[in-house]
């Protein structure tokens, strides 16, 4: 039954009409207060002090890749070290956006990401939205990497020491 149907059905019963109008009034007040609260919230301050804010705002500040923290030029679209998208508009331009999507999907299949249920769900949903036709192939690779976590990179092997010469 719709809202207006409840009002017309409750017209013969004043208690129902008053209860319905009181509920609507409370909902309107709650919505109004929620909107007011949302508009009055002050943005949280930056997690750094004024000195760092001044350094970041300088023209000669060197931009860093958010993925590997390597320095790159201000006009770069992708990090020269890891390939992550770093440009201001890289994700908005049609052609470079394809490379950004590829970077996200490579992160999922490489297994080098923070493994939380939200991240796993995000990779699954993103792949389903982007590539519905190839999703089963991507999911197989993704889940294999998720289950069989790649071992951390071991240091390069040292050659075995040569045996000491014996004097006979």
Summarize pLDDT for 147-159 with one digit per residue, the tens: 877 555 544 555 5
Whole-angstrom CA distances from 120 to 51, 56, 114, 126 are 38, 33, 9, 10
Residue 120 has pLDDT above 60, yes or no: yes
The pTM score is 0.42
Element holding 55 (H helix, E strand): helix 50-57
Q: What is the mean pLDDT of residues 127-143?
A: 83
Identify whether the C-beta of residue 81 lies closer than 8 Å to the C-beta of residue 66. Answer: no
């Amino acid at each position: 039954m719709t809202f207006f149907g409840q009002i017309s059905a409750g017209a013969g019963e004043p208690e129902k009409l008053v209860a319905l109008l009181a509920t609507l009034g409370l909902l309107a007040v709650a919505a109004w207060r929620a909107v007011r609260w949302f508009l009055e919230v002050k943005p949280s301050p930056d997690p750094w002090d004024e000195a760092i804010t001044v350094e970041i705002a300088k023209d000669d500040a060197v931009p860093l890749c958010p993925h590997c923290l390597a320095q790159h030029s201000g006009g770069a679209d992708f990090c020269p070290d890891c390939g992550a998208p770093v440009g201001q508009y890289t994700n908005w331009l049609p052609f470079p956006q394809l490379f950004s999507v590829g970077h996200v999907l490579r992160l999922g299949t490489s297994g080098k990401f923070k493994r939380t249920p939200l991240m796993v769900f995000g990779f699954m949903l993103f792949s389903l939205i982007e590539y519905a036709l190839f999703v089963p192939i991507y999911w197989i690779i993704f889940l294999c990497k998720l289950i069989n976590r790649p071992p951390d990179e071991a240091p390069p092997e040292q050659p075995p020491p040569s045996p000491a010469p014996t004097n006979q």
